[in-house]
Amino acid sequence: MTAQAVSTAPDPDPALSAIPFTHLARLTDDTGLFEHARHTIARREHGYCTDDAARGLVVTGREADPSAEVLRLAECYLTFLTHAQDATGAFHNRLGFDRVWADEPAVEDWWGRALWGLGTAAARCPAPWIREEAHHAFAQGASRRSGNPRSMAFAALGATELLRAGSGGEPALSLLSDAVTVIGHPGPDPHWPWPEERLTYANAALAETLIAAGDLLDDPPVLAAGLRMLTWLLDIQTHDGHLSALPAAGWRRGTTRPRYDQQPIEVAALADACATAATITGARTWRAGVDRCIAWFLGDNDIGQIMWNPATGGGYDGLTPLGPNLNQGAESTLALIATLQHGVSR
Q: What is the arithmetic mean of pLDDT over 249-272?
A: 94
Buried b (16+ CB within 10 A) or exposed e, 163-198: bbbeebeebbbebbbbbbebbebbeeeeebbbbbee
pLDDT at 10: 35
| pLDDT grade for 185, boundaries at 50, 70 and 90 | very high
Say what the pLDDT of residue 9 is. Answer: 35
- Condensed to tens digits (0 to 9), the pLDDT of residues 302-332 reads 999 999 999 999 999 999 999 999 999 999 9
- Taking the model in full, what pTM does it have? 0.94
**197 backbone dihedrals φ, ψ, rounded to 5°:** -85, -10
| pLDDT for residue 70 | 98
Interatomic CA distance for residues 198 and 176, integer angstroms: 23
Pick the more confident residue, 274 or 9: 274
pLDDT value for 197: 96
Q: Is the pLDDT of residue 241 over 60?
A: yes
Instruction: Kindly tell me if the per-residue pLDDT of 275 is higher than 90.
Output: yes
Separation of alpha carbons 125 and 322, rounded Å: 40
**131 C-beta neighbours (distance < 10 Å), count:** 19
CA 244, CA 242: separation in Å to the nearest integer?
Answer: 6
221: pLDDT confidence band, cut at 50, 70 and 90? very high
The pLDDT value recorded for residue 346 is 57
- Residue 3's pLDDT is 40
Residue 11 pLDDT > 80: no
35-48 pLDDT tens trace: 999 999 999 999 99
pLDDT digits (tens, 9 = 90+) for 65-111: 999 999 999 999 999 999 999 999 999 999 999 999 999 999 999 99
pLDDT in tens, 196-216: 999 999 999 999 999 999 999
Q: Which range (15-19, 192-196, 245-249) has the least confidence? A: 15-19
N-to-C CA span, the chain: 37
Residue 14 has what pLDDT? 47
Q: How far is residue 158's CA from residue 47's CA, in Å, rounded to a whole number?
A: 25
Confidence of residue 147 (pLDDT cuts 50, 70, 90): very high
Percent of residues, the chain, with pLDDT higher than 90: 91
- Cα separations in angstroms, 153 against 159, 160, 273, 322, 329: 10, 10, 12, 33, 24
- Give pLDDT, residue 219: 98
